[in-house]
Amino acid sequence: MVPEPELELGWVDRELSEEFPDLALWTIRIRARSGRSPARVRERLGVLSNRITGGHVIHMRQDPVPWAYRVFWRQIGLDPDTTRTPVEQIALDRLQWGGLRSRNLLDDAITIATVETGVPVLALDADLVGSQLGLRLTGQNELLGGSGRPLSARQIVVADEDRCLAVLSGEVAEERGVTPSTTNMAIGAIQVKGVPRISVEEALWTVAETLSVGG
Amino acid sequence: MPETLERRRPIAPYPQGPPALPPLAPPTAPDERPARRTLLDQIEHLERELSSLFISTWPRKGFEFSVASRGGPRLLPLAELELLRDDLATRVDDARRSLSDRTYLEEKHRCRIEEMLLEPEKHKWVRIGNDDIGEPGCKHWHVRPRWGVLGMLMNWWRVKISSGCPLAQGRA
């Protein structure tokens, strides 16, 4: 039995919360390392991949949670048929590759959580980010991660007190992301309108539980 | 009393018309939120319709469902939200019309299959596949003469129904 990590609700920029009142960032901080996935995790990926069929992928866009992210993607100016929501991208990759491929423990944990719940999850190195994570719009001349690629103004990003850490569509700043030497992780999940809180909690706990199995 | 009878012309205060005043600025900036809220709701509604149409069209091919990205993820200005809503509405209309046209044709093909089965000699060499009736798979109905040339001469026709898709690899 893994002790449940404490769930934290991140801050949301006022302009953003006025536009999307149900938008939220939930995070947990856990002590864990990535690395090669153990057999149990790889087996779980195999079982999950058997659940994803062509018909399942076609109907996925009418399932409540994947559909909620699809609508949100559309409302923030993304085409969900080009920039796929994470759960749709995983499902399409599964069809293309014939299975869910194991990459490393963290990525596998995120894949399992996303397929199980439909909620997109991102991971950061907790020692390299501030204590308060949240969502805001970028200002002029901001760089991803503080020193990465330039971001255009008014993009929606995950940020700490000082800098942008990840773009909402999934790109994480390289210098703030999880590396093989990371020992503390901040795992975040975005909640949007139509997604129940329990799905978000389950996504985060699934990641934590899977990482604990490997660690 | 000529002075009192004289009609006095009213004196216009500004012979060339009143001076143009600068337009009054509204005391506060207009609140865009209700309009934005409505547009976001409309986008949600249209996305639902587009998703339903996508599922209804499967497994048919040749439909277009993509609506161009607006360079997100970002907070779209009001004008871009309107354009996005309009693009979505156009896409939904196009998809609905295309699906309607396609299902009409498919119905015609289904009727023709029935006629072929009843009177094959009236539909010589006609071949209708699953694609034509909006079904997945490779099955097709083909009106062919019974016993080759003899059937053609004797006007003996029948409908051959294929047994499905060819194997990806040959028989083991």
Tens digits of per-residue pLDDT, B18-76? 667 777 766 777 788 899 999 999 999 999 999 999 999 988 888 888 898 888 899 99
Tokens of A191: 């909640």
Q: Are A130 and A160 in contact (CB under 8 A)?
A: yes
pLDDT at B6 over 60: no
User: What distance, in Å, lies between the first and last C-alpha atoms of chain A?
Assistant: 14
From the list A65, A72, A78, the residue with the least C-alpha distance to A20 is: A72
pLDDT digits (tens, 9 = 90+) for B134-151: 888 888 999 999 988 888
Closest B-chain CA to A193: B44
Q: Are A114 and A49 in contact (CB under 8 A)?
A: no
pLDDT category of residue B152 using cuts at 50, 70 and 90:
confident
Angle between helices A64-75 and A86-97 (to 10 degrees): 110
Kindly provide the b/e burial profile for residues A45-61, where b requires at least 16 CB atoms within 10 angstroms of the residue's own CB: beebbeebeeeebeebb
List all residues 6 or more positions away from B85 whose beta carbon is below 8 Å from its beta carbon. B39, B42, B43, B46
pLDDT at B28: 73
Q: Kindly report the nearest CA distance between residue B51 and chain A, in angstroms.
A: 6
pLDDT at A128: 94
Residue A202: alpha-carbon gap to chain centroid: 13
Q: What is the value of pTM for the model shown? A: 0.84
Q: Are A60 and A91 in contact (CB under 8 A)?
A: yes
Q: Are A4 and A205 in contact (CB under 8 A)?
A: yes
Of A58, A67, A78, the CB nearest to B58: A58
Chain A CB contacts of B55 below 8 Å? 58-59, 61-62
pLDDT digits (tens, 9 = 90+) for B162-171: 877 777 776 6
List all residues 6 or more positions away from A188 whose beta carbon is below 8 Å from its beta carbon. A10, A25, A26, A27, A121, A122, A123, A124, A133, A158
pLDDT at A17: 94
Q: Kindly report the nearest CA distance between residue B54 and chain A, in angstroms.
A: 8
From the list A143, A130, A122, the residue with the least C-alpha distance to A191 is: A122
pLDDT at A1: 53
**B residues 52..81 contacting A (CB < 8 A):** 52, 54-55, 58, 65-76, 80
Contact yes or no for B70 and A77 at CB 8 A: yes
pLDDT digits (tens, 9 = 90+) for A53-87: 888 888 898 899 999 999 999 999 999 999 999 99
- So what's the ipTM on this one? 0.90
pLDDT at B35: 93
Whether the ω angle into residue A120 lies within 30 degrees of 0, i.e. cis, is no
Q: Kindly report the nearest CA distance between residue A32 and chain B, in angstroms.
A: 30
Reduced to 3 states (helix: H, G, I; strand: E, B; else coil), residue A30 is strand
Closest B-chain CA to A138: B74
For residue B168, the tally of other CB atoms under 10 A from its CB is: 5
Residue B48: alpha-carbon gap to chain centroid: 14
pLDDT-flagged residues of chain A (< 50):
none
Given CB atoms, is B92 within the 8 Å cutoff of chain A?
no
pLDDT digits (tens, 9 = 90+) for B72-125: 899 999 999 999 999 999 999 999 999 999 999 999 999 999 999 999 999 999
- Degrees (nearest 5) of the Cα angle A74, A76, A79? 40
DSSP assignment string, B52-78: HHHHHHTT-----------S-SB---H
